[in-house]
């Protein structure tokens, strides 16, 4: 057994590391992907509706069996508590705030004072999330992009690409630990996010959650919703397949439960990342097409779980630095 572990398992285990020196490319991609999604999210939604809701509706919908505090922590950290002393947000204020989030994320995406505008984007996003949680939702589909913005906001200023870098006039890329630990935090946060979802299924339903999931019983009613033009995300072809194949739900549930509970493996087993990323991406795709619940933004950021610094090293960085060394020695 020990020989098997050494020869077949141990070679594939490689801890991502916390303070390893890394290139900036992975961080730059995380910066760009997160900000692009935030721009899409706030440009495609209308948050001014929260200015039309009566203040009595800001009551925090609670789970039927879990109510630990009278008011959740999000009431404070998202600044929604200000409306305990001030009039509720107006549609005009929310419109300008939404435009401000798009503008700030656009500037950060273009490398214009990127950390400053990333922090402003985070604060605006956080406030809108607080309004969503206070009125009509226990969860919010932008969670991963929100904590990614937080990680970016806490990162050193020198980590961000700037407009000069986009023009190709920036300084040559160098390896530093500052480029690495934010990526580690991102992978750790994603592991906690999906791992908590897997644990919650066991706590609330039981270890046999996968065997108790009967999507084929829900599919007929959702199939009826799909005939309406205003329905969102109810795919009739997928729903009909689930309705007619009762084996699909437990199989998909087993894969989901396994990949959620062991998602932390992305920190230790680089070659297995594609399995976890693909599984969770398919989960979000199926949830959207069968239940109309939009967590597709999570799938967008799942792509950032791959090691792009290693890819950049193989593709061009090593070759580029070798050419520079030859040029310097020739000079």
Domains of the chain, by residue range, sit at 20-179
Average pLDDT over residues 104-115: 96
pLDDT at 319 over 80: no
pLDDT at 11 over 50: yes
Give the residue from 304, 274, 281 showing the smallest Cα distance to 31.
304
Per DSSP, what are the bridge partners of residue 22? 176
Average pLDDT over residues 149-154: 96
Give the residue from 255, 222, 251 showing the smallest Cα distance to 238.
222
Quote the tokens at residue 7.
């020869």
Q: 148 or 236, which is more confident?
A: 148
- In sequence order, what are the residues at sequence separation of 6 or more whose Cβ sits closer than 8 angstroms to the Cβ of residue 299? 280, 281, 284, 285
Per DSSP, what are the bridge partners of residue 176? 22
Answer left, alpha or beta for residue 67, where phi above 0 means left and psi between -120 and 50 means alpha. Answer: beta
Predicted confidence band at 6 (pLDDT cuts at 50, 70, 90)?
A: low
pLDDT attached to residue 62 = 62
Q: How far, in Å, CA of 32 to CA of 161, rounded?
A: 9
Quote the tokens at residue 63.
């789970």
pLDDT attached to residue 318 = 56
- In sequence order, what are the residues at sequence separation of 6 or more whose Cβ sits closer than 8 angstroms to the Cβ of residue 222? 234, 239, 290, 291, 292
Average pLDDT taken over every residue of the chain: 83
Q: If you search the block for the tokens 């199926």, which residue do you land on?
A: 286
pLDDT attached to residue 138 = 67
pLDDT attached to residue 204 = 85
pLDDT at 27 over 70: yes
- In sequence order, what are the residues at sequence separation of 6 or more whose Cβ sits closer than 8 angstroms to the Cβ of residue 159? 24, 27, 178, 179, 182
Q: Which range has highest mean pLDDT (99-108, 195-204, 285-294)?
A: 99-108
Q: How far, in Å, CA of 321 to CA of 300, rounded?
A: 31
Q: 175 or 121, which is more confident?
A: 121
pLDDT attached to residue 324 = 45
Counting beta carbons within 10 angstroms of the beta carbon of residue 186, is it exposed (0 to 12), middle (13 to 18) or buried (19 or more)?
buried
Average pLDDT over residues 216-227: 78
Q: How far, in Å, CA of 34 to CA of 128, rounded?
A: 17
- In sequence order, what are the residues at sequence separation of 6 or more whose Cβ sits closer than 8 angstroms to the Cβ of residue 38? 101, 105, 121, 125, 145, 149
pLDDT at 33 over 80: yes
pLDDT attached to residue 134 = 83
Contact 295, 233 (CB under 8 A): no
pLDDT attached to residue 298 = 81
pLDDT at 330 over 80: no
């Amino acid at each position: 057994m020990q020989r098997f572990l050494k020869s077949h398992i141990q070679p594939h285990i490689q801890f991502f590391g916390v303070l390893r020196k890394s290139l900036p490319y992975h961080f730059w991609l995380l910066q760009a992907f997160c900000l692009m999604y935030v721009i899409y999210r706030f440009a495609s939604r209308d948050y001014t509706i929260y200015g039309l809701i009566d203040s009595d509706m800001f009551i925090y919908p609670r789970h039927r069996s879990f109510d630990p505090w009278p008011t959740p922590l999000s009431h404070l950290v998202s600044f929604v508590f200000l409306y305990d002393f001030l009039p509720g947000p107006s549609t005009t204020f929310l419109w300008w705030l939404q435009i401000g989030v798009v503008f700030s994320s656009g500037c950060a995406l273009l490398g214009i004072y990127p950390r400053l505008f990333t922090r402003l984007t985070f604060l605006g996003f956080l406030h809108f999330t607080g309004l969503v949680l206070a009125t009509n939702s226990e969860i919010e589909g932008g969670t991963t992009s929100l904590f990614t913005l937080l990680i970016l906001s806490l990162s050193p200023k020198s980590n961000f690409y700037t407009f000069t870098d986009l023009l190709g006039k920036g300084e040559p890329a160098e390896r530093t630990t500052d480029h690495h630990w934010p990526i580690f935090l991102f992978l750790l946060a994603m592991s906690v996010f999906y791992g908590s979802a897997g644990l919650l299924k066991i706590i609330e339903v039981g270890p046999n959650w996968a065997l108790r999931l009967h999507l084929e019983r829900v599919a007929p009613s959702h199939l009826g919703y799909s005939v309406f033009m205003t329905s969102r995300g109810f795919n009739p072809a997928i729903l009909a397949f689930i309705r007619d194949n009762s084996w699909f739900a437990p199989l998909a549930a087993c894969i989901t439960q396994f990949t959620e509970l062991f998602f932390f493996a992305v920190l230790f087993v680089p070659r297995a990342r594609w399995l976890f990323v693909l599984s969770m991406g398919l989960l979000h795709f199926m949830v959207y097409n069968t239940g109309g619940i939009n967590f597709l933004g999570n799938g967008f950021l799942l792509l950032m779980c791959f090691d792009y610094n290693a890819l950049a090293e193989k593709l061009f960085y090593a070759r580029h630095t070798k050419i520079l060394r030859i040029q310097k020695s020739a000079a």
